[in-house]
Structure 1
């Protein structure tokens, strides 16, 4: 009996979230009401309130659970002694894209166009940056850089998120492995050399 009840609750929550993501894409978060979500999920308002306090609670729960799953997946990427290891960048990018593929409706509703949820993008970028600088905690040499470490991390994080958003917006035009390999080459050689363009000094 408990298993049947649990499955019913799980299906109801999935229906609510699916309706929520679809409505964000169609109307934007601010325009959505609890009644809209209930109507789309084919439940009544009381059923919604059995699971979530209100619309912000639903949003926070969705964001926190997906970001927690993403963080767990990234943590499994091998730690490199070099904070700017090309293999690390490639692995993290592929891990992120594969995770997004499993939750595409959610990520599209959170990250794309005028309806995007900006706090989600900022939190996601923070998780990526934390992984990229993880090597500094292991690097006993702590060699000085020719440019600001903070600037470099900001550049890599912004470039990383820009590619992720491009990939989602264009319905995955390249495989996760292709995007990851090309991104690591751009970082390693610069965008012009990576594209095979001669660079004049």
Structure 2
């Protein structure tokens, strides 16, 4: 009997979240009401309140759980032991895209167009930046980068998120491993050279 009860609770929670994810792109987060969610999930308002205090509680719970799963997956990527590892960047990108594929509806709701949830995007980008900074060691003890390390991480994090949003918005136009490989090549060789465009050097 306990197992049946647990399954019913799980299905109700899944229905609430599915309804919530579907409504965000349709109405925008601010316009959604608890009644909207209850109607879409085919439950009553009292059932909603058995599981969540209010709409912000539902949003926070969804974001925290998905970001926690993403972080756990990213943490498992090998640590870079060089000033910067392109293989790490490629591995992290592929890991993130594969994790997104498991919850595409949620990520589309959080990241795309005017209905995106900016705190989620910022927290996701911070997970990526933290991983890229992890294990960073200069090639030599007193070596100095030609540019600011913080600026480089900011650039890579922003570019990384731009690729992720493009991939989600366009419904995975390329396989995750191909996107990851191309992104690492762009970082390594620059966008013009990677695209096969000759670069004229100034005298």
Over 3 Å off, 4+ runs: 137-140
Q: Distance in 2 between matches of 1:137 and 1:20?
A: 43
| Contact kept in structure 2, 1:52 and 1:58, CA below 8 Å | yes
Q: Distance in 1 between matches of 2:73 and 2:149?
A: 25
**Residues 40-83 of structure 1: per-residue CA shift (max 9 Å, x gap):** 00000000000000000000000000000000000010112025
Corresponding residue number in structure 2 for 1:46: 46
Corresponding residue number in structure 1 for 2:36: 36
Q: Distance in 2 between matches of 1:139 and 1:183?
A: 24
- Residues 3 and 143 from structure 1, CA distance in 2 versus in 1: closer, same or farther, beyond 3 angstroms? farther
Q: Distance in 1 between matches of 2:142 and 2:96?
A: 28
Q: Distance in 1 between matches of 2:59 and 2:82?
A: 36
Q: Distance in 2 between matches of 1:55 and 1:142?
A: 51
How far 1:84 moved relative to its partner?
1.9
| Contact kept in structure 1, 2:29 and 2:115, CA below 8 Å | yes
How far 1:200 moved relative to its partner?
1.1
Matched, 1:168 2:168: yes
Corresponding residue number in structure 1 for 2:22: 22
How far 1:96 moved relative to its partner?
0.2
Corresponding residue number in structure 1 for 2:88: 88
Corresponding residue number in structure 1 for 2:188: 188
**What's the TM-score once normalised by structure 2's chain length?**
0.96
Corresponding residue number in structure 1 for 2:7: 7
* Deviation larger for 128-137 or 12-21: 128-137
Corresponding residue number in structure 2 for 1:125: 125
Q: Counterpart of 1:135 in 2: which secondary structure?
A: coil
List runs of 5+ in structure 2 lacking aligned partners.
none
RMSD (Å), alpha carbons:
1.3
**What's the TM-score once normalised by structure 1's chain length?**
0.97
Corresponding residue number in structure 1 for 2:65: 65
List runs of 5+ in structure 1 lacking aligned partners.
none
Q: Distance in 2 between matches of 1:111 and 1:133?
A: 24
Corresponding residue number in structure 2 for 1:154: 154
| Contact kept in structure 2, 1:94 and 1:177, CA below 8 Å | yes
Q: Distance in 2 between matches of 1:46 and 1:138?
A: 57
- Residues 83 and 74 from structure 1, CA distance in 2 versus in 1: closer, same or farther, beyond 3 angstroms? farther
Q: Counterpart of 2:183 in 1: which secondary structure?
A: helix
How far 1:144 moved relative to its partner?
1.3
Q: Distance in 2 between matches of 1:109 and 1:55?
A: 15
Q: Distance in 2 between matches of 1:70 and 1:7?
A: 25
| Contact kept in structure 2, 1:86 and 1:188, CA below 8 Å | yes
